[in-house]
Amino acid sequence: MATSSAGRRLAACLLNVSEARRKDVVETVATAALYDAQGVRRHGATVLNIFNDHDYNRSVITIVADIDSLGEAVLSACEAACGLIDLSAHRGLHPCMGAVDLVPFYPLGEEVGAELCAQEARAVARGLTERVRGSSAFLFGWADSPLQRGLAQRRKEAGWFRKGRGFLQDVRADVGPPPGARYGLTGVGAAYVMNCNVTIGTRDVAWARAVAAAIRESAPGGLPGRAGAGAAHEGAVEIACNVESVKGTGGEGTAGEGGTTTTPWPSFSVGGQPYCHVPAALITARVAELAARHGVRAEAAALVGFTPRECRALAEAAISRGIGEFWKERRGIRM
């Protein structure tokens, strides 16, 4: 049944789960966002995209709904994931801390403020730990009041890159009990988070990690809001980048064949405050520049997810047509 998206206060969640090798499990998690506890379809909710990475054994599910119903949709998906994914049995190249690893909320227009997304994120963290006994969560971004620490900082504090069983034993959750082996620790927050992964023509993981470190926000001359690492991936090496939104309109000089140019950064506004994020093209250019110094080529780049503007346009198209499983039908729909 077609419904109007006019006047909706849309927000999105980029749900990251620690499973990609069992397609049926991932699609069950995605579909769970579209139905309430009685099995009734949630009108106005849609799953825009599912991105799977077999080597990382990680999937990213883009869920969109009105801010007043998005939290319940995401909680349903999280409950399904916790019932189907055992973190203690997880094997994958991408670092992760939880069966449901990451739950970032972000607004898709001025109708929804940062605080509304923060409220929903905190409610989901509480709801998850109440409904799934033994699950735990930490908060980041606007939801981490009053500090508003970013995802990269919170992950670092939790020892995200430490290996071996029991690495979460000394981590304190913000919500729920100390993390356990089955569910691990889930990051729940309010911030726009984009993933941009760049493949480079080498199998030297140590060198790739050095490249990743050189463009992190914390490095001299690093890119704002960027964190990530180098890892072996599909027979090559990939620079896997998380990019968080930052305040401002951005813009940075980038070198090209015609000299230095200013690249506009994708931006959006929340409560009159402009936010932006480093464009994928700039990340790719920086990686290519560093690789070229060592005679290595940047071979490919993959963007995971959408900019807020792209996400809103797709969501409005899906909702107006009454399409919940939009990821299945997107290619056949004319925008």
Please provide the DSSP assignment of 63-104 as one string.
Answer: EEEEHHHHHHHHHHHHHHHHHH--GGG---SS--SBSEEEEE
- Residue among 121, 156, 143 at smallest CA distance from 229: 156
Domains of the chain: 10-191+307-332 (3.30.990.10), 194-304 (no CATH)
SS (H, E, C) 240-269: EEEEECEECCCCEEEEECCEEEEECCCEEE
CA separation (Å) from 7 to 27, 84, 313?
A: 29, 36, 14
Tell me how crowded residue 22 is: count the other CB atoms within 10 A of its CB. Answer: 14
Q: Establish how many alpha carbons lie within 13 A of residue 55's alpha carbon, considering only the half-sphere containing its beta carbon.
A: 10
In this prediction, residue 164 has a pLDDT band, given cuts at 50, 70 and 90, of low
Residue type at 261 in one-letter notation: T
**Higher-scoring residue by pLDDT: 4, 105:** 105
Q: What three-state secondary structure class fits 296? A: coil
Rounded Cα distance between 161 and 27, Å, is 28
Q: Residue 265 class from Cβ within 10 Å (0-12 exposed, 13-18 middle, 19+ buried)?
A: buried
How far is residue 129 from each of residues 16, 97, 178, 179, 188, measured CA to CA in Å? 17, 15, 11, 11, 11
- The band of 311, judged by pLDDT with boundaries at 50, 70 and 90, is very high
Measured in whole angstroms, the distance separating CA 102 from the mean position of its chain's CA atoms is 7
38-71 pLDDT tens trace: 999 999 999 999 999 998 899 999 999 999 999 9
Confirm if 294 and 230 have CB atoms less than 8 A apart: no
Q: Which of 56-60, 70-74, 252-256 has the lowest mean pLDDT?
A: 252-256
Q: Is the pLDDT of residue 335 over 50?
A: no
Among 60-69, 136-145, 152-161, which stretch is predicted with the lowest mean pLDDT? 152-161
**Which tokens sit at 254?**
């980038």
Residue of higher predicted confidence among 99 and 300: 99
Task: Assess whether pLDDT exceeds 90 at residue 236.
Answer: no
Q: Is the pLDDT of residue 217 over 60?
A: yes
Question: Between residues 167 and 71, which one has the greater pLDDT?
Answer: 71
Instruction: Tell me how far the alpha carbon of residue 64 is from its chain's centroid.
Output: 13
Say how many residues make up the chain: 335
